[in-house]
Amino acid sequence: MEKSKLSTLFKDKSFGKILFNEPMKNHTSFKIGGPADIMIIPSREKDIIESIKFCREKNIKYIIMGNGTNLLVRDTGIRGVVIKIANGFDNIAIDNDKIFCQGGTLLSVIAKKALRESLAGFEFASGIPGTIGGAITMNAGAYGGEMKDIVTKVIALDKNNNIVELANKDMNFRYRGSTVIDEGLIVLGVELQLRKQEYSKIEEKMKDFTNRRVSKQPLDLPSGGSTFKRPTGYYAGKLIDDAGLRGIRFGYAQVSEKHCGFIVNRGNATFEEVFTLIKTVQKIVHDKYNIMLEPEIKIIGDY
């Protein structure tokens, strides 16, 4: 659909905050990406449901994003609508050892709330960037913990605009995947089962994980997090390092010298620079070890 027609359709809609021709580089941790024709930032569940229903009825292409921490967006941008479920859709409720949070809640915020209430089990996620909705979608994990270990219930919007409730057993959690991906669901809310523990023990564990991240990951530079999934039986970062690719650059895109599993933006990197570097790394690792690294970051946008 033409951009001018799209703008007219959304001009007077009240789906939350609506931005036109919005640069995606302002909404991704990579700091890369051209403009989205329309960006909707909902603050209520009703905003999400009605905006998606409207897009479906009008046959308007749309994508759902969280906090943009694992996205690589093309410089040409995104035609259609981007619905950003993040800040503004982030209420949290605590009932004894259970936490219910809306899909746009940052993991770091949940971790702080859990600590404040002396609730253990969420420490592994305290330093993972992004929202709980994205974490559920990808079954995010770190330091021996995964979302599947603590999720009891997921509230989601299905392809028929129905709100559905799924138990843990219905989620098909696996390495970097879930029913959310399988069935094209949109996470509206999540219930987590944690456990009471001494505040000091939880705090100590969170500090340990934070120190490990800071010492090993290139958190001082824009990136999309781990660039590649972990191949069975191997570690992507070690394969890349062993292949002699530590620090290799293409334009402003670079394989991190601190952790080879990350590609970082050293300045004003373009999509093409990062994408070319990804392909280069894949080819060299495959040629040397006959292992094809699969991107963990999600590549989106239109040509």
In a shared domain, residues 48 and 107: no
Question: Do 200 and 123 belong together in one domain?
Answer: yes
Q: Please give the residue range of the domain that contains residue 109.
A: 92-216
206 within some domain: yes
- Residue whose entry in the numeric block shows the structure tokens 């530590």: 246
Choosing from 26, 56, 84, the residue where a domain stops is 84
My answer on whether 168 and 98 are in the same domain is yes
299: Cβ–Cβ under 8 A, 6 or more apart, which residues? 71, 72, 74, 275
Q: How many independent structural domains does the chain possess?
A: 3
For residue 223, being part of any structural domain is answered with: no
Residues 193 and 271 in one domain: no
Domain assignment present for 222 = no
The pLDDT value recorded for residue 2 is 78
pLDDT of residue 143: 92
Look up 146 and say whether it is catalytic. Answer: no
Q: Which of 44, 108, 272, 296 is catalytic?
A: 296
According to the model, what pLDDT value does residue 158 have? 95
pLDDT tens across 130-169, in order? Answer: 999 999 999 999 999 999 999 999 999 999 999 999 999 9
Catalytic position from the list 22, 123, 176, 223:
176
pLDDT in tens, 74-133: 999 999 999 999 988 999 999 999 999 999 999 999 999 999 999 999 999 999 999 999
Answer yes or no: is 42 within a domain.
yes
**Which tokens sit at 257?**
């010298």
pLDDT for 1 beyond 90: no
Per the prediction, the chain carries an average pLDDT of 95
Domain co-membership, 66 together with 14: yes
**Sequence-ordered strand ranges (E) for 177-261:** 186-193, 195-196, 249-250, 253-255
Task: Indicate which CATH number applies to the domain containing 69.
Answer: 3.30.43.10
Mean pLDDT score, 294-300: 95
- What local confidence, expressed as pLDDT, does residue 23 receive? 98
pLDDT band at 3 (very low <50, low <70, confident <90, very high): confident
Kindly report the CATH number assigned to the domain that includes residue 285.
3.90.78.10
Angle at 131 between CA 38 and CA 71, to 5 degrees: 55
State whether 29 and 114 are in the same domain.
Answer: no
The reply to whether 113 and 207 lie within a common domain is yes
Please report whether residue 224 resides in a domain: no
Contacts for 196-202: CB closer than 8 Å, 24+ residues apart: 196/97, 196/118, 196/119, 196/120, 197/118, 197/119, 197/120, 198/118, 199/115, 199/118, 201/120, 202/114, 202/115, 202/118, 202/119, 202/120, 202/123
Q: Give the model's pLDDT for residue 12.
A: 83
Cβ neighbour number for residue 24 with a 10 Å cutoff = 28
Distance CA 266, CA 108 (A): 25
Q: Are residues 198 and 242 in the same domain?
A: no
129 and 202 housed in the same domain: yes
Specify whether 78 is located in the same domain as 96. Answer: no
Confidence category of residue 7, pLDDT binned at 50, 70, 90:
confident
Which member of 178, 226, 256, 273 is catalytic?
226
Asked if 117 and 78 sit in the same domain, the reply is: no
Pick from 84, 111, 144: which residue ends a domain? 84
Any domain includes 230: no
Active site residue 191: no
Residues 18 and 54 in one domain: yes
pLDDT score of 35 more than 80: yes
With 90 as the cut, is the pLDDT of residue 61 above it? yes
CATH at residue 166:
3.30.465.10
pLDDT at 5 over 90: no
Of 216, 245, 271, which residue sits at a domain end? 216
Q: How far apart are the C-alpha atoms of 171 and 152, rounded to whole Å?
A: 10
Give the Cα separation of 67 and 187 in Å (integer). 14
Sign of CA dihedral 211, 212, 215, 220: negative
CA distance 188 to 154: 8
176 a catalytic residue:
yes
276 pLDDT higher than 80 = yes
Q: Is residue 54 part of a domain?
A: yes
227 is a domain residue: no
Band of the pLDDT at 206, cuts 50, 70, 90?
Answer: very high
Between CA 115 and CA 111 the distance in angstroms is: 6
Tell me the percentage of the chain whose pLDDT exceeds 70: 100
